[in-house]
Amino acid sequence: MEDDEEKEDLKQCFEIVQDGEVAINAIPLATKPVVIVDYKIHRKGKQGYYEIIRADGSSKIYLLFSQLIKSFDREDLETLWKLVKAKHGNTRPEEGYERVLWSNLMTMFEHHVEDLIWRNLQGKKVLLWRLYDSCGIHFMRFKDMHVYMLVEKRYPLTPEIITDMLNKKQKSNY
């Protein structure tokens, strides 16, 4: 501080309170759900769904992976990937919903240029492109497959697919 007058002006803005004399009754405007601790896949007949279990014992059910990522942030997605990877490692599961979950997450977090998925995209047209802002995921739907990709990663997409993505984005802005 430059001078005593400036100190006095600042002191008027503050009230010094000793420890133990302050009680703050704050109400948070938004609270993040508790961390994910487990997941289960349930089947009822031909229908399957994902159950996401949080540390406080609460759980939520999602019929589709796309519904799941709509309500997830990046931390949730990374936690889910760690749980799936701890269960399966790099071995692709056999069961349908478990395999879909593992494949979607593996493509996002640990893709390789040689993966079959990238070769299967050759010559395909993008039917739908969507960005999930909450978790930073690109979603692309093709005629017979779909791909989820992290925003910050580079994927081996062809110039045609990138052009299709940009065209879909441009059309959705009108």
At residue 172 the predicted structure's pLDDT band, cuts being 50, 70 and 90, is: low
pTM (two decimals): 0.72
Q: How many CB atoms lie within 10 A of CB 161?
A: 22
Residue-wise pLDDT tens digits, 39-68: 999 988 888 899 999 999 999 999 988 899
At residue 97 the predicted structure's pLDDT band, cuts being 50, 70 and 90, is: confident
Residue-wise pLDDT tens digits, 13-36: 666 555 555 555 555 555 556 799
Show the DSSP H helices in the chain as ranges: 4-13, 65-70, 74-88, 96-109, 116-120, 159-172
